[in-house]
Homo-oligomer: A and B are copies of this chain.
Amino acid sequence: MSIFEKLESEVRSYSRGWPVVFDRAQGSRLYAEDGRPYLDYFAGAGALNYGHNNPVLKKALIEYIERDGVTHALDMFTVAKRDLLETLDEKILKPRELDYKVIFPGPGGANAVEAALKLARKVTGRESVINFTNAFHGMTIGALSVTGNSMKRHGAGIPLVHATPMPYDQYFDGVYPDFLYFERLLDDSGSGLNEPAAVIVETVQGEGGINAAGIEWLRGLADLCKRHGILLIVDDVQMGCGRTGPFFSFEEAGIKPDMVCLSKSLSGYGIPMALTLIRPDLDVWEPGEHNGTFRGISPAFVTAAEAMRTYWSDDELEKSVRAKGERIGAALQGLVDAYPEAELTAKGRGLARGLEFQNGELAGRVCAAAFERGLLMETSGPDSEVVKLLPPLTLTDAEVGEGLEIIDASVNAVLGK
């Protein structure tokens, strides 16, 4: 029995589908300890947008560690934090005319969500939050309450309350008007819907099955929130940092959320880091009212700032993401067309792409076939029925081609053509 089997809890999941021991990683590739390379279309579930061990960030990181820069600093002032804030302001906020204030909520995306929900409730004096069908926002009780997956919800062991799910865009395949039910409940003082403090939304639902909300739907949601005095929280933990093209996934829609949650690829190097951005007038916290040990991990600040300077000083990455995303999208559509009887659906935006099968068993077999061929992809969606492609944004055109070939072969192997 391996030490993993002996010691690690049954809750582990990824290692079940990919039963090898990984050792090194570089760019778009992971290497098992036997040296076998795997092309990574998973990218740390979106935490490695700039690739594994990105050399530019690696250089800055090692320099910082070597010179004994402060590593851990809670919310003290540090040179590293100053550089981060200045770079965030200069490269990200100002060019987009955003004047957010910054909360350091803790190390992970769930912390960014918990801080946003707490603040939204404190500001409005209301407890209830609107989430969307098939949302994923994290595993801590506050974040889990607004997450859709029933298996994960059961893990809470307590009834998850204070959240009401509304249909995400296209939940009824476009047959019914957007927000019909939501706005009717809000307008009707007898509806029984507790007045919501906030709406929390992903612009593209990654865990939910690569469901990409339309631009008009997002605008409609922002308008609805404004009309009803509800705070709009965009959870950009997975779709931010360029995953869909622009730094913030909501830019294309031209909306300005009241709060934004960032994490995953924020540090750029896979080191835990998260931010909650808030409208300045919402900054009503007492000092220390929300805190935590891992809010000032300077190595993450160093790589985050370096990533912003490297990738967000111009629009090259954004253009490249769009181009590669469209290429992948077209290839997936090709598969849809090639297997009409399988009733596949190609989904997604930018480099968050999905291929939906009729059931999770098929999608799982495609991922297993890809793994055998040296490609890492996971499934998502309520029934794990969507093959999910989240490659590093920095993958080369050759790696796009390589990945698509393996996907093609894997689908072929499973659908039996």
When all copies of this chain in the complex are counted, the total is: 4
A308 within 8 A of B: no
Interface size of A by CB at 8 A reads: 152
Task: Say whether A79 contacts B159, CB under 8 Å.
Answer: no
Task: Say whether B71 contacts A134, CB under 8 Å.
Answer: no
Contacts of A156 in B (CB 8 A): 118, 121
Interface string of A106-142 (1 = CB under 8 A from B): 1111110011011111100001100111110011111
Known: A106-B139, A155-B290. A192 touches B163 (CB 8 A): yes
- Distance A278 CA – B8 CA, assembled complex (angstroms): 10
Contacts of A101 in B (CB 8 A): 7-9
Task: Say whether B65 contacts A120, CB under 8 Å.
Answer: no
Interface string of A262-302 (1 = CB under 8 A from B): 01100001111000001000011111111111100101000
- Distance A7 CA – B109 CA, assembled complex (angstroms): 20
Task: Say whether A22 contacts B79, CB under 8 Å.
Answer: yes
A165 within 8 A of B: yes
Offer 10 A-B interface pairs, CB within 8 angstroms, sorted by A.
A2-B82, A11-B288, A22-B79, A58-B68, A61-B65, A106-B108, A142-B142, A176-B180, A188-B382, A189-B383
Task: Say whether B45 contacts A293, CB under 8 Å.
Answer: yes
Task: Say whether B68 contacts A25, CB under 8 Å.
Answer: yes
**Cross-interface CB contact of A24 among B18, B69, B102, cutoff 8 Å:** B69
Tell me which of A83-91, A213-221, A248-256, A327-335 binds B: A83-91
Tell me which of A145-153, A309-317, A338-346 binds B: A145-153
Interface string of A155-178 (1 = CB under 8 A from B): 111111111110100011000100
A97 within 8 A of B: no
Tell me which of A193-201, A222-230, A348-356, A403-411 binds B: A193-201
Task: Say whether B85 contacts A65, CB under 8 Å.
Answer: no
**Cross-interface CB contact of A47 among B72, B176, B188, B272, cutoff 8 Å:** B72
Task: Say whether A71 contacts B110, CB under 8 Å.
Answer: no
A48 within 8 A of B: yes
A122 → B minimal CB distance (Å) = 4
